[in-house]
Amino acid sequence: MNCFEPRSPGVIPIELKNGARVKANDVAPHGVYRPNYNILTPNMRSPEYVQMSTAAALTLGIMSGKMYRCECTRCLNLLLTYPEGCRANCAYCGLARHREAERDYADRNFIRVDWPAVPLDMTIDIVARDGEKTPFHRMCISMITHPRSDEDTVTVLKKWIARIDPSTLPVSILSNPTTMTRADVERLHELGADIFTVALDAATPEIFERTRGKGVQSPHSWKKYWEILMDAREIFGPQKFGAHIIVGMGETEYDALRLVQQLVDLGGHSHMFCFFPEKGSLMDHLPATPREQWRRVQLGRYLIDYKGVRVDDMTFDDSGRVTGFGIPQSELETVVGEGIAFRTSGCPGKFRDDVSACDRPYGDSPPSNIASYPFQPNKTDLRKIRRQLRLVERKA
Ligand code: SF4
């Protein structure tokens, strides 16, 4: 048995399938809904409602509170929402279908945090009111696997662009290839979306199949994801498409970095996530990615994406672990010392091309042991990163 094997999804009683509980209660929503707020989950649907990360809700000013060492997030992720939820069953994901008996969709944790549901019009009003003073650098519509997802993404995008200048606040699409056609990709581009991303998540076809395909009764296929990725490449053009990769689901460091290289060679970017055992997911019994593995892949990815280093210049041991980054030690020290390689990766914001707007505070780790830094690492952080980054050859 593979040691990264997900648990098997259980059987869902028919009366709890497809958001039946929320639809039967049919509570009308009023304003912002905070997950697990001791009231019945209202019957909320996109495009009228969207969900956003707790960090985005704090930044927007519709929730109060503070985040550890972060004054705000720079990316406003708008996640489509329906009582039926996402119809896929990805093993590492808190939104997956197998949770429908246990927790209503709008109450599920996703990348470690709660996602309040907010009326779309209220969200647009606040961002339009703030104009150029908005703290956000980018908006991202996050699709899920649902029959309404394509049409509602178009509606959200149209409503957004009618009020908010995309040159002030560009829009990314985190797509759901399973329900999409090339024409859907073209339509989103024509309507003004700036960047199109595909969450491959798995670094190899085998891991994809095991964690989000037939292995967990989920509808996704590696082939279809690549088809839409290649459509996006042609339609959105160089530097305007990318893929998500989760590191630590059983792939080698070489597997991950080879995929990063493939994406760069195609003209795109990779956005990386460190595997974290999401509570309630089918992989919540597995260990988070060891920090030294994560740091090596994070650094390798940054060098390939932004410093012109090729995966073929790097060296790997028999287990596929990085033993050399293919550049002189002094140059490597400079890149490490800059710290940007260890920040959250994603679509760019307004600061510089290699600093992501999408900072996802603590989306892949607890604040006590940060994987992706949602801010510029300071001297203490860099000391810790250097300790974590021991090269394999130095250990020998
Ligand atoms: S398609 Fe996306 S939202 Fe749905 S279960 Fe998979 S990773 Fe989660």
> What is residue 80's predicted lDDT score, i.e. its pLDDT?
97
Cα separation, 56 vs 10, whole angstroms: 33
Cα separation, 235 vs 240, whole angstroms: 9
pLDDT at 35 over 50: yes
Contact 193, 156 (CB under 8 A): no
* 218 CA distance to ligand 1 middle (Å): 9
Contact 84, 18 (CB under 8 A): yes
Q: Closest ligand 1 atom, CA of 178?
A: 1
Residue with tokens 């002189």: 328
> What is residue 195's predicted lDDT score, i.e. its pLDDT?
98
pLDDT at 391 over 80: no
pLDDT at 308 over 70: yes
Residues of the chain with pLDDT > 90, as a percent, come to 88
Give residue-wise pLDDT tens across range 42-67: 999 999 999 999 999 999 999 988 88
pLDDT at 287 over 90: yes
Shortest-distance Cα residue to atom 5 of ligand 1: 96
Give residue-wise pLDDT tens across range 59-106: 999 998 888 888 788 999 999 999 999 999 999 999 999 999 889 999
Output the average pLDDT for the chain.
94
Give residue-wise pLDDT tens across range 225-250: 999 999 999 999 999 999 999 999 99
Shortest-distance Cα residue to atom 3 of ligand 1: 144
Q: What is the mean pLDDT of residues 176-188?
A: 98
Which residues lie with the beta carbon below 6 Å from any ligand 1 atom?
A: 86, 88, 90, 93, 95-96, 144-145, 212
> What is residue 164's predicted lDDT score, i.e. its pLDDT?
97
pLDDT at 394 over 60: no
Contact 83, 45 (CB under 8 A): yes
SS3 of the chain: CCCCCCCCCCCCCHHHHHHHHHHHHCCCCCCCECCCCCCCCCCCCCCCEEECCHHHHHHHCCCCCCECCECCCCEEEEEECCCCCCCCCCCCCCCCHHHCCCCCHHHCCECCECCCEEEHHHHHHHHHHHHHHCCCCEEEEECCCCCCHHHHHHHHHHHHHHHCCCCCCCEEEEECHHHCCHHHHHHHHHCCCCEEEEEEECCCHHHHHHHHCHHHCCCCCHHHHHHHHHHHHHHHCCCCEEEEEEECCCCCHHHHHHHHHHHHHHCCEEEEEECCCCCCCCCCCCCCCCHHHHHHHHHHHHHHHHCCCCHHHCEECCCCCEEECCCCHHHHHHHHHHCHHHECCCCECCCCCCCECCCCCCCCCCHHHCCCECCCCCHHHHHHHHHHCCCHHHHC
> What is residue 39's predicted lDDT score, i.e. its pLDDT?
83
* 391 CA distance to ligand 1 middle (Å): 34
CB atoms within 10 A of CB 121: 13
> What is residue 392's predicted lDDT score, i.e. its pLDDT?
44
* Two structure tokens written together for 209: 């199949």
Probe target for ligand 1 pocket from 77, 93, 111, with the most ligand atoms within 8 Å of CB = 93
Distance of CA 106 to the CA centre of its chain: 18
